[in-house]
Structure 1
Amino acid sequence: MAIKLTMLIIFFGIFIMVGYMCRKSSKSVNGFVLGGRNVGPWLTAFAYGTSYFSAVIFVGYAGQFGWSFGIASTWIGLGNAFIGSLLAWSILGRRTRVMTQHLGSKTMPEFFGQRFKSKNLKIAASAITFIFLIPYTASLFNGLSRLFKMAFNVEYSYCVIVMAVLTAIYVIVGGYMATAVNDFIQGLIMLVGIVAVILAVLGQNGGLMGSIAALSNIPSETSNVNGVFASFLGPEPMYLLIVVLLTSLGTWGLPQMVGKFYAITNEEAIKKGTVISTIFAIVVAGGCYFLGGFGRLFNTQAQVDIEGFDSIVPSMLSGLPDILIAIVLILVLSASMSTLSSLVLASSSTLTLDFIGGLRKKEATEKSNMNLLRVFVAIFIVISAIIAIVQATSKVTFIAQLMGISWGALSGAFLAPFLYGLYWKKVTKAGVTTGFIFGIVTMIIQLLISLKILTVSGPILETIFKNSLYSGVFAMLASLIIVPIVSLLTGKTTPDGVDEMFDCYGQTVRVHARTSLTDEEE
C-alpha cells in the first residue's frame, strides 16, 4: 500500500508542478487552446497518442474485444497505429495545420464556420461537440473503478472526484502546453507500463507460447473451429473489421484528435510526429489489445456474465506483484487523465469561442474569453464526473447507451465534411449540413433501438443497427459518399473565396540564391 500511495503522490505532484510551470504560455486564448501553435513533434505525437488511448481502451475495449476475438484483437491495435495514426497524420496533418492557420481557426467548429462562411454551421458543430463529448468523457472514469477497488478498495466516486480535481487544476493553470507536457510524461509511463504488464501476465501461463497453447484449447461460442482464439483472424472476422474501422478511421473526425494538428510548430515537425505517433500506437494500442486477447485464461463465462467485460482486465492483473499493480494504476491514470484533459480543452474551447461566441452580437475581449474558458473547463469536468458517478451507482441505461454512440456520432457527423473541406474546393454548405444531419440522425436511431424504443426489420437495417459499432462505421462511410453527391447537386451554396483559401497550400516563395561556379566554368 505504501508503494502504491507513494507512486500516486509523485504522479499527481508532477502534473500539478507542470501546470504551474506552463502558466505563462496560457495567458492568451491562442496560447491556452493551441500552445501558440508552437508545439514540437514529440509533444504533439505523444499528446495525440495519449488522447487516443485511454482507460476505455485499456480496461473496456481490450477486455471486451480480447474476449470476443482472442489474440486476433491485436489487429485493432495495429489498425489504430496505421489507419488512426500513420494515415491520419499523413493525410490530415499538414493540410489541417496550414488551412487552420490561414483561416485563423482554433477549433473544428470554427474551421467549419470560416471554411464555409457559415455562422450556423459553426454553432451547430459546437453544439454537437459539446453534447457528445460529455458522455465520452464520463466513460473514461468507468475504466478506473474496478482497478482502484482491486488495488486500494477505494470507493469509485472518491477516485472520480480526485482525478477530476487534479485534471482541472493543471488544465486551468497551464492550458494546452501543460496538457502536452503532461501527455509526454504520461506517454512514457504508458510505454514502459504496457510492456512490463504484458511480460508479467504472460509469465503466469508459461510465457508467450504457453499462453497461446492454453488459449488454443478454449472453445468458442460462435465458431466450431478448434483453437480459433489463437488464430489469425479470430472467430468473427467481419465484426473484427468493423471494430478496426470505427476505432481507427473514427479518429479522423474527433475534434480533440484533429485539434493536435492545429498546434504543431512546422512541416518538419509533422514528418517526425508521424513516425513517433505510429510507433507509440503500435506499442500501446497493439499491446493493450494483445494483452486483452488472453482474457479467457483468467476469466470464466459466468464471471463475465455477472460482472461484465470491464472485469476481465482487472482479473488478469489481480495476481501481479504490488509494484506491478502500482504501475498499472499509474498507466491507466495516465491514459485517462491525458484523454480527459484533451476532451476538456476541446469542449470548453468550442463552447466558449464557437457556441457562445457565435451567439454574441459583439466580439468578446481576450480577458473575457480566457475567464470563460477556465470556467467551462471546470463546468465540463464537474458535469462529466457527476454523470460517471450516477451511471456507476444507478446503472442508468440511457447514459450507458449515450456513451456507446458518442464516438460514432462525432465521427459520423464530422469526418467527411472536415476531410472534403481540406481537399476539395467544390464541397458546399448544403453538403456539410447534410453530413452533420446524417451522422447525428443515424446514431440517434441507434440510441432509440438500443433503448428498445424503436425497432427495425429487414436484413440490411438489422445489420446496420446491430450495435453502435456497426451504425458508427455506416455513418462514417456513407457520409463520405453523401457529402460529395449533395455538394455536386447544390453548387450554388459553395462559399465565396474558396480559391484564395486553397492558395495557402501552394504559395510561391522567392529566395535569393548564390551563383555556384562549376569545374567547366572555372
Structure 2
Amino acid sequence: MKYVFIAAYFLIMLVIGLISMRKISSVNDFFLGGRKIGPWMSAFAYGTTYFSAVIFIGYAGRIGWGFGLSAIWIGIGNALLGSLAAWLVLAKKTREVTHRLNISTMPEFFEKRYGSKTLKILSALIIFIFLVPYSASVYQGLTYLFEAVFHVPFTYGILAMALLTAVYLTLGGYVATATNDFVQGIIMLMGTIVMVAFVLLNPHVGGLSSGLEKLAHIDSRLVAPVGPGGFSALMSLVILTSIGSWGLPQMIHKFYTIKDDEAVKRATIISTAFALIVAGGAYFIGAFGRLFLNNQIPINAATGKPDMDMIMPIVAMKAFPDWLLGLLAILILSASMSTLASLVLVSSSAISMDLLREIKPGIKNSTETLIMRLLCLIFIIASVVIATNRQTVILSLMSFSWGTVSGSFLAPYFYGLYWKRTTRSGAFAGFISGFATSVILALVFKFNAGMAPQLGAISMAVSMIAVPTVSLLTQDVPDAHKSFVKGVAEEL
C-alpha cells in the first residue's frame, strides 16, 4: 500500500507540472505566478515552505529528545511569531512595496530601497551560496526516511527526490509550486493529526497520561515547562526558527505573489492555524521518541556513531502500520518538495534575475526563463552533492545556513521596509555584522550542531542593533529614492 501512495503522489506532482507549464509565458509568471495567488494557496505555500523534512526528521527527533515536551514551545513560537506576526507585520507592506516598485526579489528590494547595486549583488551571492546547504539538509532528511521505510539506498533516494523536484519545478515554476503546495498542505495537516493519534495509542506510550508518567520516570525535566536543554537554548531555537523566518527570501517571496489585501487577511489566519497543527504536532511526537528507543540514541550503521536524525524514522517504523508509513512518507515528502522548490526558485532567481540582468540588461524574457530553469537544475545538483556526505548533520546544515541568511537580511529588510531613516550605510552594517557574526562564531565553535541555534540568534540580534545605530550616524539616502522613502513614510 505504501508504494501505491508514493507512486500516486509522484504522478500527481508531474501532472501538475505539465499543466502549469502552459501558464508560463514570462519570467514573471515562472517566478511570481503573475502575482495572482489566492489566500489558501499563499498560506499553504508559506506553511509548506516553512516546514520540511528538517522539522519532522531533524528537529522533532533531536529537540524532542533533548527538551521533552517543552519542545512544543518551539511549535507555538513558529505559529505565533513565525506565522501570525510575520503575516501581520510583513505581508501587506511587502506586497504594497513590491507591487508599486515592480520588485521581484529580495536583492532587488535592497537595490531600490538603498540605491546600491553592491547590496543587490552581495545579497544575491549570499542567497545562492548559503541556501544550497539548507536544501541539502532537506534532501538528507528525506532519504533517512526513505531508507528506513522503503529500504531505498541513501544515494538512490536523494537522486529520486532530486529528479522529481527538477522535473515539476523546471516545467511549471511557481504556478506548479503553489498548486502543489496546496495539495501538499492538506496532506501535511491530515498526516500530522493521524500521526499524533497513533503515537499516543501505541503501547510504547500507552496514552497521554501514561506517556507523561514514563517520560517523568526517565527524567522529570522532560515534562517540565523548560526541558533538560535549558531556557537559553530553548529560546534560541524559538528565535531562530520563528523570527529567523522573517529574513529568509523563500518565505518573503510568498508575500510578493499574493493577489490583494483581503487575501492577506485570510491567509494570515490560515497560515497560523497550519503552523500550530504541523509544528506543534511534530514536536509533540518527537518528545516521546525516548519511549520507543528505550532511552538509547540509535547508532548509524554507516558511520558507527550515534545519530539523532534516525530517531523519527525508527519511531515511525515502530508506531505506524504499513499504510500509515506510506502516508507519513508522503507527508514528509510533501513538506520537503515544497521547501526545496521554494529554495531552488529563490536561489536561481538570485543569479538569473539579480546578477544576470546587471551583466546583460537587454536579455530577452524567453532567454531569462530558460536560464532560470537551467540554474534550477544546477542548484539541485549542488545540493545533492552536499547531501550525499552522511557525516553532515541535518540540524547543523539547516541551522547554520538559516542563521547566516537571516542574520544578513532580517535587519536591513525590516528596517528598510518600516523605518524611513534607515540608510545605505546602516544596511551595509547590518549585512556585514550579521554575516560575519554567524560565520566567525560557526568557525570558533567548529560547526557544533548544538550551538547552531544560539549562534543564529546572536547574529540576528547583532544585525538588528547595527542597522539603526549606523543609520543614526549617517545620512546617505540618495535623492533618486525619495519616492520609495515617501511611500514608506506615508503608511507609518
TM-score, normalising length: structure 2: 0.94
Counterpart position of 1:379: 378
CA contact (8 A) 2:94 2:255 kept: yes
Counterpart position of 1:273: 267
CA–CA distance in structure 2, aligned partners of residues 23 and 367 of structure 1: 13
CA–CA distance in structure 1, aligned partners of residues 162 and 18 of structure 2: 17
Q: Pick one of 421, 424, 429 that aligns with 1:426.
A: 421
Letter in 2 for 1:443: S
Give the CA deviation at 1:478.
Answer: 2.0
Deviations 1:440-490 (A, max 9, x none): 11111123123389xxxxxxxxxxx98221111011112111101101111
SS at match of 1:181: helix
CA–CA distance in structure 1, aligned partners of residues 290 and 61 of structure 2: 9
Counterpart position of 1:363: 362
For the pair shown, the structure with the greater C-alpha radius of gyration is 1
Matches within 5 A, 1:31-180: 31-180=29-178
Count of paired positions = 482
Give the CA deviation at 1:400.
Answer: 8.3
Counterpart position of 1:501: 484
Unaligned regions of 5+ residues in structure 2, if any? 300-304
CA contact (8 A) 1:430 1:486 kept: yes
Give the CA deviation at 1:232.
Answer: 2.0
2:419 aligned with 1:436:
no
2:290 aligned with 1:307:
no
Matches within 5 A, 1:271-350: 271-304=265-298, 306-319=305-318, 320-350=320-350
Letter in 2 for 1:84: G
CA contact (8 A) 1:135 1:403 kept: yes
Counterpart position of 2:193: 195
CA contact (8 A) 1:62 1:289 kept: yes
CA contact (8 A) 2:419 2:488 kept: no
Q: Pick one of 18, 21, 28 that aligns with 2:16.
A: 18
CA contact (8 A) 2:52 2:336 kept: yes
Q: Pick one of 7, 12, 31 that aligns with 1:9.
A: 7
Give the CA deviation at 1:334.
Answer: 0.6
Q: Which one is further off, 95-104 or 247-256?
A: 95-104
CA–CA distance in structure 2, aligned partners of residues 75 and 145 of structure 1: 27
Change (3 A) 1:466 1:145: closer
CA contact (8 A) 1:50 1:187 kept: yes
Counterpart position of 2:455: 471
CA–CA distance in structure 2, aligned partners of residues 417 and 307 of structure 1: 40
CA contact (8 A) 1:446 1:467 kept: no
Q: Pick one of 400, 405, 410 that aligns with 1:405.
A: 400
Give the CA deviation at 1:501.
Answer: 1.6
Counterpart position of 2:302: none
Give the CA deviation at 1:495.
Answer: 2.5
Give the CA deviation at 1:248.
Answer: 0.3
2:481 aligned with 1:486:
no
Instruction: Report percent identity of matched pairs.
Output: 45
CA contact (8 A) 1:98 1:504 kept: no
Counterpart position of 1:212: 212
Deviations 1:162-214 (A, max 9, x none): 11111111111111011001011001000010111111011112211211121
CA–CA distance in structure 2, aligned partners of residues 482 and 99 of structure 1: 24
CA contact (8 A) 2:111 2:120 kept: yes
Change (3 A) 1:8 1:452: closer
CA contact (8 A) 1:425 1:498 kept: no
Unaligned regions of 5+ residues in structure 1, if any? 220-226, 454-464, 509-522
CA contact (8 A) 1:253 1:412 kept: yes
TM-score, normalising length: structure 1: 0.89
CA contact (8 A) 1:84 1:251 kept: yes
Q: Which one is further off, 297-306 or 417-426?
A: 297-306
CA–CA distance in structure 1, aligned partners of residues 292 and 358 of structure 2: 53
CA–CA distance in structure 2, aligned partners of residues 110 and 244 of structure 1: 29
SS at match of 2:182: helix
SS at match of 2:218: coil
CA contact (8 A) 1:62 1:292 kept: yes
Deviations 1:328-376 (A, max 9, x none): 111111111110001000000111111222233x331111111111110
Letter in 2 for 1:14: I
CA contact (8 A) 1:122 1:354 kept: yes
Give the CA deviation at 1:307.
Answer: 3.2
